[in-house]
Structure formats: structure tokens, C-alpha cells
Structure 1
């Protein structure tokens, strides 16, 4: 708010002019109800012949902090929720060649970001709303207006990019249900941002409320938003699994990696010596075949190794859970391209038979 209206109110109150007359005069001058209320709120109603300035509850630095926290939590929650929804679309409508493990990892990060940022956004929204009631001038804060218009700009760019991508895919004939759902997610989130912030900007021109109350429309909007977030998080947990299940899958993935490393060193020993090593300890004599992890990292039980015949050997471990495409991909990270998916397993003790001469492993 400019200093001119504040100076006018100060001078008018000093001359004993009634507040109602000051309001009518400023309205004729084109000032909004919010600006008039903020200027009058800067002075206490007193019997003294001079206007008494009111101590502001919040200063510019505090306002900047509150609004930056509000919008930062909003941006984080919006991008995290979009990431969760995109990952759910990928998992619900998979395509050939999709790497499920990467999607699960992204989904877990999105869930964690949403769990932290969304409640923070709701909390900061309530704090800022309370400050707006205590200090009506805060609702026309330059920081708030700049961040609001920046958010509208980002939402506009998202909608434009969404439409351009949609047209390009239509021209290329590559429109799929998965792509259509992604377009719908972006459009709905950008549209929600438009409605929310445009209503806020329009509300700045109205007189400030005397107490913190949400309109029925705002309550419905917040309720719908919370339901969407809870539904997305619920589906995310269902696809990503519980923390205990994720921990067990990670342990199984490390077991599969260890077996892959052991088999690689055994095959290298076979190429160098022409025979299979009688035991894993025979690999320790050469730096090129040395294996540092010969036991299970969790149970400390030694990994299974047995020579089947002069060219075949077995490796094995006890797995906690059956593997799926996700941890099968993890286990094959250190394997050669021809072995992708070879280390998939069931729960319990699983043995893998490998032909060192043909370099063509066959699981059993």
C-alpha cells in the first residue's frame, strides 16, 4: 500500500474527520476496500486529539518468511503429488521395456516429499490466514502478490506446454490412455491453482473478515484436495509396499548382487585356470578373482557354492521374499546383458546353476 493513502488517513484523523467519511472519500478516489481498511487499521481509535499509530503485528521480513514458506511448501507438495500420480499411472498401465524398479524408487521419494510438504502447506495456509485477520494489510503484501502471480505464470506455462504436447502426440498418432491420464493430471492441478489464487486475488478487494472463517467453496476445495492426496498416498503405499517389505526386498537384492559377483569371479577363475575352484576361498589367491562378500550380510550364513561337474557350478542363498521385475532388475545391475532377469527368485533357499564353459547360465 502506498504511503499517500496512509498520510491522507493520518491527516484526516488529525482533523477529527469521522472514519465513515474518510472511507467514502477514499472510495470516491478509487481506493479498494482492502486498501482503505488497511490504512484505517494502522491507527487506533482513541479519544486523543491526535491519531495514534497501531503497532504492526508483522513486519516485512516476517511477512516475506511466511509467504516464502507457504509458496515453497505449495510448490514442493504440487510437484511431489504430480510425481506420485505419474508413477501410479506408469505402474497401473505398464509398457514393454519399463523399468519397474526405477518407478518404485521415484514413487517412494514422491510419497516422502508429499508426506512432509503437504501438511506443512496446510499449516502455513492457516498461519497466513490468521495473520491476515490480525493484520489486514498483510493481504495486499507485495511479496504475496509477486509470489501469487509467479504461481499463476507457472501454472499457465504448464497448461500451454501440456496442450502443445497433446497436439504433437495427436499429430504423431501416439496418444495412449497413459498419456491421456498424464495430461489430465497436469490440467487439473494447473486449473486448481488458477481457481485458488484468482479467488484469493479477487478476495483482496473485499473487506477483511473479523475472524478466521472458510467459505463453503473453500472448505469443499480443501476437502477434495485432502481426499486426492490421501488416495494417492494410499495407492502409492500399496504399490511401493510397506517399509518392512521394502527393507526385505533390498536385502534380497543385495544377496542377488553378491551371487552375481561370486559367479563372475568363479567364471574368471575358470578362464584363467581351466578348472572350477573347489571352494570360494580358492578365489582369494588372485586380486582379479577375490570375493570379499562370501556370507549373507544379514544372517552371516555362508553363500552356497558347489561344483556340479567340471564346467558347471551352483551358487545360492536364502531369500526373504519372492522377487519381481523390480528387484530382478536390481540384481542384474552387475550381470552381463545376457543375464538380465536371471537372478529372479522365490522365497526361501534358491540355487542357480551356471555353465562356466558356455557362459550361458541356466537357473533351476
Structure 2
């Protein structure tokens, strides 16, 4: 029974270390790929290979959470090999180490397929080479470590210098990757400001749709937002106010068919690296008045006003 209990325990450690290792490897690759995307922009593949803060944040989160789990479980495994509570001839060790080798190969193959597909779709050669090298190096480190480990027989009470080198070198690499990631990703405060500004833009769209509908119904511009609130019940205080400070959004008529919506933005959305950039409401940080023209509905299609 003790042997069976130990087998179950070490199987758990190996499986947990495998899961954590996959997250560490994928997160490291994600961060490095995003840094490559940022340093080597590709005008021919703006959306498919552009830098994404969302991907970088996932990589950072996964690396911070998964790395300690991997190193703690790996340390427990090798401590048990050292003191003899886990035999080097254990079936659990051999089977699960080979499983880790298999997974590392699968991950490398999947990465290389995706990278090659991007290259064949027109991605820059420099990006292809850098990403391919990144995938090969990460997978190669994992594969070479476990391939070396499974070939060791005389383990009991022996400190292996190669294992220690792998341990500290990989830890140093992860720290460097995290530092590089934090140097490139936007701060949580900036990310929050952009989300608030996006909510403002969503409110602008709601107001714009109602202005369009009002104009197509009455053939004139609404004089103020109060004219719209009498007609449309979707213009709630949450829509008419800036969510950051609850100040009212200003509406100004500009010509026969134009209008402006004014409020204060916390950030700019005109910079590079904006995924799905909304060109209808480009703005800088600070107080901005953004102009739009009303749109005519196709003839014969005029929605009825929404009466509360």
C-alpha cells in the first residue's frame, strides 16, 4: 500500500508539473512573439501579426502563476529522487517523463506549423525566422532537459550539476522574459483608462444612432439631447454621462447635418498598435469635441421613434 500511495503521489506531481510547464512554455512564447511583433511591424499583416497588449497580459499572468508551481513540483520530484523515496527505475517516472517529452514535441510542431503558415501567408522573413527560433529554443530546452533526465540512472544521494544549471538558467530566463514583458505592456491604470474611454465611445454611438433616427424622422437636427430623451428611452443617465466622473456629455449642432459630442477622455486612441481601431471616433487625451454627420436611411426604411 505505501508503494501504491507513493506512485499516486508522484504521478500527481509529474502531471501537475507537466500542466504548469505547458503554461510556462506557452506564456514565454506568447510574450516573446508579442515583443517580436512590436519590434518588427508588418504593414502587410496589420491585424494577424500586430502587437497585442491582451496577449502580453495573458503571458505575464500565466508565467507568474505557473512558474512557481512548476519549480515547486519539480523540486519535490528531484528531492525524492535524491533521497530515494522515488526510484530512478520507477514506472511513473519513466512513463510521465516520456509523456512530457511527447508534449514538448507536440507544442513545438504546433508552433512551427502556425509560424510557417504565417510566413506562407506573407509574413516578413525576419518575423518568421525570429518566431521559429523562439519556438525551437523553448521546446529544445524542455526536450533536452527531460531527455537528459530520463537517461540518468545513478541518482541516489548525488547532486547533478547539469540539473542545477538547467534549474537556475531557466529561472533566470523566465525573470528576464517577465522584465521584458513589463517593459512593453501597458500598465493596469492605462488599461483601465482605455476601457473607460471605450465605454464613452459606446455611449457616443448610442447617441449618434438616435440623432440619425431623429433626423430621418423629422428632417431636422435635434436642438439638444433633451429632444432625444423625449423620443428614445435608451438614452439613460448612464449613456448621457461620462462614466469616469459622471459629467454630462455635451451635444452641439454643427451645420444642417452635423453635430459634435464633447467630453473628457483619459487617453488617446490614435496611436499605433490599436486593434480594431475605431476611425469614426478618433480622439486625444483631454477634453475633445468629435464631429459627425447624420446618415440618411435608405428610402422607404424609416424606423418609428421609440416612445417611452
User: One fold, TM greater than 0.5?
Assistant: yes
From the superposition, tell whether residues 325 and 358 of structure 1 become closer, same or farther in structure 2 (CA, over 3 Å): farther
Candidates 261, 264, 289, aligned match of 1:351:
289
Q: Deviations over 1:167-213 (max 9, x none)?
A: 8888888661111111001110121122100111111x114126xx4
Of the two structures, which has the highest relative contact order with CA contacts closer than 8 Å and spacing of 6 or more?
Answer: 2
Match in the other structure for 1:209:
157
TM superposition shift of 1:222 = 2.6
After superposing the two structures, state which structure 1 stretch, 83-92 or 93-102, moved more.
93-102
CA distance in 2 between counterparts of 1:267 and 1:327 reads 31
Q: Work out which of the residue numbers 198, 202, 212 in structure 2 matches 1:257.
A: 202
- Consecutive unaligned residues of structure 1, counting only runs of 5 or more, are 1-53, 333-340, 360-364
Alignment counterpart, residue 214 of structure 2, candidates 266, 269, 275 = 269
- Answer yes or no: is the 8 Å Cα contact 1:252–1:320 preserved in 2: yes
Q: Please list, as runs of the form range in 1=range in 2, the aligned pairs for 1:1-364 lying within 5 A after superposition.
A: 59-96=6-43, 97-99=45-47, 103-159=52-108, 176-203=125-152, 205-209=153-157, 213-215=159-161, 217-287=162-232, 290-292=234-236, 293-325=239-271, 329=275, 332=278, 341-356=279-294
Distance of 1:220 and 1:139 partners within structure 2: 20
Q: What SS does structure 2 have at the residue aligned with 1:321? A: coil
| Aligned-pair CA distance for 1:264 | 2.5
After superposition, what is the alpha-carbon deviation per residue over 1:95-120, rounded to whole angstroms, capped at 9, x for unaligned?
Answer: 22524888211111111111100121
1:57–1:135 CA contact under 8 A, matched in 2: no
**Cα distance change on mapping 1:251 and 1:138 into 2, 3 Å:** farther
TM-score, structure 2 length as denominator? Answer: 0.82
Distance 1:160 1:314, change over 3 A: closer
Which protein shows a greater Rg?
1
Structure-2 residue corresponding to 1:9 = none
Q: What number of residue pairs does the alignment pair up?
A: 293
Q: How far, CA to CA, are the matches of 2:61 and 2:103 in structure 1?
A: 24
Distance in 2, Cα, partners of 1:132 & 1:57:
17
In structure 2, the gaps of 5 or more residues are 298-308
| Partner secondary structure for residue 317 of structure 1 | strand
Aligned mates of 1:72, 1:184 — CA distance in 2 = 23
Contact persistence 1:328–1:343 (CA under 8 A): no
Equivalent pair of 1:316/1:350 in contact (CA under 8 Å): yes
Q: Normalized against structure 1, the TM-score is what?
A: 0.71
| Contact 2:53/2:186, CA 8 A, preserved across alignment | no
More off after superposition, 186-195 vs 160-169: 160-169
- CA-based RMSD of the aligned residues comes to 3.1
SS in 2 for 1:350: strand
